[in-house]
Amino acid sequence: MITLRVLVDQMIAPVPGGIGRYTEELTRQLIATAPADCFVEGIVSSSSSDQYEYVERTLPGLSGLYKTTLARRELAAAWQLGMTTSPGPGLIHATGLLAPLRRHDLADGTQLAVTVHDVLAWTHPEALTPTTVAWTKAMLKRARKHADAVVVPSHAVADQLSEIADFGDRVRVIGGAVASGLRLPTDYLVSGTLSSGVAATEALGLPAEYILAAGTLEPRKAITALITALGLPGAPDLPLIVLGPDSWGELDIASVADEAGLAPGRVRAMTGLSDEELAVVISRASVFVFPSLEEGFSTPIIQAFHFGTPVVHSDAPANVEAAGDAGFVVERQDAAGYPERLAAAVSRVLGDAELARRLSIAGSDRARAFSWRDSAERVWQLHADL
């Protein structure tokens, strides 16, 4: 009998974020695809009984839940210093860098695999807190010494990581997929006709036509460039919905839109959506724009593809890798001219029905290349290879 112990602690973090969802989806499929006589156990920091119950309820089929003696903050600090507390020998798969990295022997059946989702701590440290940057760099150093495998979500991250630390042949590219709950309500017709789903759609206050984007006002996400683009002469005169918070630091969307010369209310942020609400918002958009200058894995693009929404995206390596040939690519270079190029690309897609149709079909086909089941099977194969 073999047990794969998965760090599922991010699921109960104060802000689970994308890694929390990644952890949930991957672990669920690790359970579903477990080979004969193999089981999946969760590892969590010392937490409340309600949090333990949430993990067990969300991940039915876990063979057990190992609870460390330290709470999350203290556990992260202890593991950073090499003061490990873990279930002992065996297979451990961390869905981030939070892992009991220590000297061990593969011969006794112990394996340690960690996941590096991006290298922002090196390329865009301003996007993180100083504490997070320091912790991430320290844990990567420990991973270089003690990890048997390092999972990254894209070849783009693999290339970046190779410039930071030499992991040799220990790096494996295993991407993510669309969340299993991201689907339209059963009473919503994809054709755009609403039955009893009209109530939910009206509650969201969606306009008849709109441009959709995802991100924050953090410079790396380039949402400001997109808003600026919509204020240029000849730009599409459609409202913009941004999936994300309406402010970042001292910046807020209303002020950025005003400076771009856009009418009040033309740009709107949306947060806290349920999976079904998010599905409706994405599926009804005329075009999805992802101008981000750097990503680790471009999940928003895959989500838009999933619903056949035409996609315009930057030429950031991870974006191009995720989209294949299914998106309309905009060059990032020459930052001063980026808004003009974004405006031209969006205008092109919105003004050419045949192009939009081709992008929609290509995107739907491309989305099928990403599967959590496939990701889980590749994780099992990784540990079998070790």
Compute the average pLDDT of residues 127-141.
Answer: 96
Contact assessment for residue 80 and residue 142, using Cβ atoms and an 8 Å cutoff? yes
Give the model's pLDDT for residue 248: 92
Q: For 331-384, write each residue's pLDDT tens digit.
A: 998 888 999 999 999 999 999 999 999 999 999 999 999 999 999 999 999 999
**Cα–Cα dist 172/224, whole Å:** 34
Question: Measured between alpha carbons, how far apart are the two ends of the chain, in Å?
Answer: 17
Q: In whole numbers, what is the pLDDT of the chain averaged over residues?
A: 93
Compute the average pLDDT of residues 94-106.
Answer: 91
Q: Which of 287, 193, 300, 303 is nearest to 240 (CA)?
A: 287
**Cα–Cα dist 27/5, whole Å:** 10
Residue for token pair 């309600």: 50
Q: What percent of the chain has pLDDT over 90?
A: 87
Compute the average pLDDT of residues 81-90.
Answer: 75
Q: What are 74's two structure tokens?
A: 């203290």
Displacement of CA 85 from its chain's centroid (Å):
29
**Cα–Cα dist 359/349, whole Å:** 9
pLDDT at 192 over 80: no
Where is 270: in which H helix or E strand?
strand 267-270
pLDDT at 195 over 50: no
Q: For 20-47, write each residue's pLDDT tens digit.
A: 999 999 999 999 999 999 999 999 999 9
Buried b (16+ CB within 10 A) or exposed e, 340-373: bbbbbbbbebbeeeeebeebbebbeebbeebebe
Q: For 318-330, write each residue's pLDDT tens digit.
A: 999 999 999 999 9
Compute the average pLDDT of residues 79-97.
Answer: 85
Q: For 293-305, write each residue's pLDDT tens digit.
A: 999 999 999 999 9
Give the model's pLDDT for residue 196: 41
Give the model's pLDDT for residue 385: 92
Residue for token pair 């471009």: 298
Give the model's pLDDT for residue 365: 97
Contact assessment for residue 239 and residue 268, using Cβ atoms and an 8 Å cutoff? yes
pLDDT at 201 over 60: yes
Whole-Å CA distances, 264 to 138, 203, 239, 260, 302: 45, 20, 10, 11, 31
Domains of the chain: 2-177+371-385 (3.40.50.2000), 198-367 (3.40.50.2000)
Listing DSSP states for 176-198 in one string gives ----TT----TTB-TTS-BSTTH
- At 258 the three-state DSSP class reads helix
pLDDT at 147 over 50: yes
Whole-Å CA distances, 317 to 156, 159, 226, 291, 320: 6, 10, 19, 12, 5
Q: Which of 132, 212, 176 is nearest to 297 (CA)?
A: 176
**Cα–Cα dist 105/62, whole Å:** 26
**Cα–Cα dist 197/353, whole Å:** 27
Compute the average pLDDT of residues 116-124.
Answer: 97
**Beta strands in 75-229, from DSSP E residues, in sequence order:** 91-94, 111-115, 149-152, 171-173, 211-214
Q: How confident is the model at residue 199 (pLDDT cuts 50, 70, 90)?
A: low
How long a stretch of residues is the chain? 386
Give the model's pLDDT for residue 198: 58
pLDDT at 148 over 50: yes
Give the model's pLDDT for residue 188: 66
**According to the per-residue pLDDT averaged within each range, which of 74-88, 91-105, 153-167, 177-191 is highest?**
153-167
Compute the average pLDDT of residues 166-182.
Answer: 96
Compute the average pLDDT of residues 140-157.
Answer: 97
The 10 Å Cβ neighbour count of residue 77 is 12
Compute the average pLDDT of residues 303-325.
Answer: 98
CA dihedral sign, ordered 266, 275, 311, 160: positive
Q: How confident is the model at residue 83 (pLDDT cuts 50, 70, 90)?
A: confident
Give the model's pLDDT for residue 346: 98
Give the model's pLDDT for residue 1: 86
The 10 Å Cβ neighbour count of residue 186 is 9
pLDDT at 197 over 80: no
